[in-house]
Each structure stands twice: as structure tokens, then as C-alpha cells.
Amino acid sequence: MPDRLFGTDGIRGVANEDLTPELALRLGRAAGHILGGHGERVVIGRDTRRSGRMLESALAAGLCSVGVEVRLVGHIPTPGLAHIARTGDHKAGAVISASHNPAPDNGIKFFDHRGLKLPDATEDAIEAAMTHEAGLPRPTEGGIGLVGDARGLVKEYEDRLSQLAPPLAGVKVVLDCANGATYRVAPAVFLAAGATVRVLFDRPDGLNINATCGSNHPDRMREAVVAEGADIGFAFDGDGDRVVIADHTGALHDGDTVLAIAARHFARAGTLRPSLVVGTVMSNGGVEATLRRDGIELIRTQVGDRYVWEELERRDAQLGGEPSGHVIFRGYSTTGDGILTALELLHLVQAEGESLSQLAAEIERWPQITRNVRATRRREWKDGRFGELVRSAEDELSGAGRLVVRPSGTEPVLRITVEAREPHVAQRVADRLAAAAAETLA
């Protein structure tokens, strides 16, 4: 594990190798103490990974050992856990998931009672408490926390989504649940709204989460949309906080498309106040140009939906998100929610009276090439020969494109994204840098 346990999205690692039950136990004790200790209540949810129960048990044991009451909700999308944390009498919530990562990985992240990810200062305090774990309280008898079954709380999240769903009678939808946490909730919500639903990858076995399916691999979903004559398709990731969409032609659309459609709709209605959306350094330049023509500003943050949320709050703005499919509708949720994003997009399509394909055609897109290079020394990318090549590429693209190099915070991967008005330029620069990274940073 890295020197600092908490990354941009909680603690991640290979389950039982990096992220061990011993670590989860210590984390539970430290977090329980920092979050208030005896008598406080924490709700825990998880995705469908085989290691989830193991880590859940260890985390719950650690929390109980410092007097915290624990409620287990079982399988639930991450945004569902955040919703429960902020609507119930809980001090905090914890979700055990590695999102879109492969099955061997897992992670633990906390939400506070407002449904927000913990601030850095609180995470630092938890890490500090872990280093002095022996000095934390050890109550006995009636002071020990209890573990309770709270799986019924998932229905509260499902009901919340159903309240926000548009009427979908006559709409044919394909859902790819990634064999992950949306496999029950998503079909139930769309069926309750009246849609005709074709569900893919809703048979989790603990090992098949995100395996050639979901938002990272949406081809099966898009093929099903075309083959079955569906109106639209949605591919969620393993923990349900992001979504990739296919229109009726099979064309794929990302979070940038959703943001642009929503922002333009609300701006025309006079309800986008202030007139801006929050994206990240990965947001497409063509989308930015489209929004600018409509008088809408795109504010960029570093990658990570927590940074998008912080900027939304700072500017009191409504919409933010990432191309990966994390989209935040601040009036409804504190984090990216794939199912909610899908429902809101259907609202917008109905309100505009046009198909998703027609709405997306109005949004300019600049060619963008991303290379994910396995690189164990990814955090050293600014140094040496590779750093020199990056600076040279930035000079080459000056005025005609953008280059973003970003070490993943959750995988040993260096992400290289090149954007240019001319596709062949983006391709050439991305290929050159990917080959150099593989050679020098492996």
C-alpha cells in the first residue's frame, strides 16, 4: 500500500494482499474512534466481489470494538450507500468496493452524515489513529457495538430513484449491470417506471464483476440496443456511480454528453444559475466550445468526483461530472449516480422532444485519444526522458490541442490523453508517448 492509505477514492488494493482483513480491522477501530466512538452508528454496504464479505466482517468488527453500532445493508450501489448515510440516523457510511476495477481489487471509502466523502483532515486523523491503534478504547460487555441486518434500507434508495424516474411506458431500455451492485436496483427502478427492460450481466458470482462488461466494456450493451431495436442502453460500472450510454443507433455517449445536454436544456429554460458546469481536465474541448457558444462556462478541476463536488459547492452550481460517466446533479445527489444519471437523461430527452442521437449531434467533439499504460513508476512521469517527451508534445500541440498525463490513484497505470482538432495528430502523439511510458516507466 502507498505511504498515504487514502487516495482520491478511499483505500484501494488487491484484496487479501494489499487490502487485508487485518488492515480493515485496524481501519474500523481508528475510523470508529475518530467518527465519535461509543453509541454512534455506521452503515456498511458493498458491491458483489467475493472479498466483500471478508472485508465487511473485519471492518464491522473494528468499529464494534470501539463501541460503534454497525448496520449492514449488503449489496448496494455506492450512491445508494451515500443516500442512506445522509438520510438516516447514521454518523457515517462505509462502502466496500473497487468501482470499475477488476474483481481481485477491492476498496473501502467512507461518507459522512451528509453523504459526502470524508475531508482530507478526517482521513489523516484516521490514519494517525491507526498508527497508535493499541491506545484506542476497548470497551467490554455493554460497551461493545452490535452488528445489525439492515438490508431493507436498500429499498429506500430504490424508492427514491423511482420517485425521480420519468414515465417510461413504451420505452425499450437495455441495462448492463456489470455483474455489480446495480444488478437488483436498476432493473427494478426501470420496470417500476413502465419501461420494457432487457438486462445484461446481472448474475454476479463474486468473480465476474466488470469482466468484459459494464461501463468499461459497453460493446455488448450497444450491440443489444441495435439488435433488439431498443431506444437507449445504459452500462453501469461495478459500484453503480458511473454510466456509459448507447443511443438507438448504437453510438456511445459519455458523461460529457450528458453534462452538455443537461446544461443547454436548463440554460434555455433559464434555470441554470449560475451559468456554468463543472468538469475536469479530461472534459472534451469540443464540448467546452459548444457550451461557450451558449454562454455557459466550463470550470475544470482535477480528476475525481470529490473535486467536482467541492467546486460545485464552492460556486453553488447545479451540474458537474467527468467523461467517465460520473455525473452529479447536485439537487438530488452528493455523488455520481449512474442510475440517477440515466433517469435524468431520459427526462431531458422527453422534455426536448428529440432522440438522444439528435441531441448529441448538436455537441461538438474534438478527437481524443487515451492510452492506459501499465507503469509501476507512474508517479515519476515528470522526470527523465519521458518528462522531456511530454514537454516536447505540449509544445507541438500548443494552440491546437491539449495533453493530460495522469497517474491513476487506484491502479499501476499511467493515463495519457491527447486531444487535437486533427485526429491523426492526436493519434500520433498518444502512440509516441504510450510507447515511451511503457519503455521508461514499467
Domains of the chain are 11-153 (3.40.120.10), 166-252 (3.40.120.10), 254-337+351-361 (3.40.120.10), 368-440 (3.30.310.50)
Give the Cα separation of 344 and 228 in Å (integer).
23
Catalytic residue among 51, 65, 97, 99: 99
Helix (H) or strand (E) holding 413: strand 413-420
> Is residue 398 annotated as part of the catalytic site, yes or no?
no
CB 169 within 8 A of CB 346: no
Give the Cα separation of 193 and 214 in Å (integer).
22
Strand ranges in 290-350 using DSSP code E only, listed in sequence order: 297-301, 319-321, 327-329
Q: Say if strands 232-236 and 252-253 run parallel, antiparallel, or are unpaired.
A: unpaired
pLDDT at residue 41 in the model: 97
pLDDT at residue 409 in the model: 72
CB 185 within 8 A of CB 77: yes
pLDDT at residue 440 in the model: 92
pLDDT at residue 3 in the model: 63
CB proximity list for 60: less than 8 A, separation 6 or greater: 28, 44, 70, 72, 147
pLDDT at residue 1 in the model: 44
Q: What is the mean pLDDT of each run of 10 residues along the chain (442 residues)?
A: 73 96 97 94 98 98 98 98 94 97 96 93 95 92 96 97 97 98 98 98 98 97 98 98 97 97 96 96 90 96 90 96 95 96 98 96 91 91 92 87 84 91 90 94 86
pLDDT at residue 401 in the model: 82
- 3-state DSSP call for residue 44? strand
pLDDT at residue 266 in the model: 97
pTM of this structure = 0.90
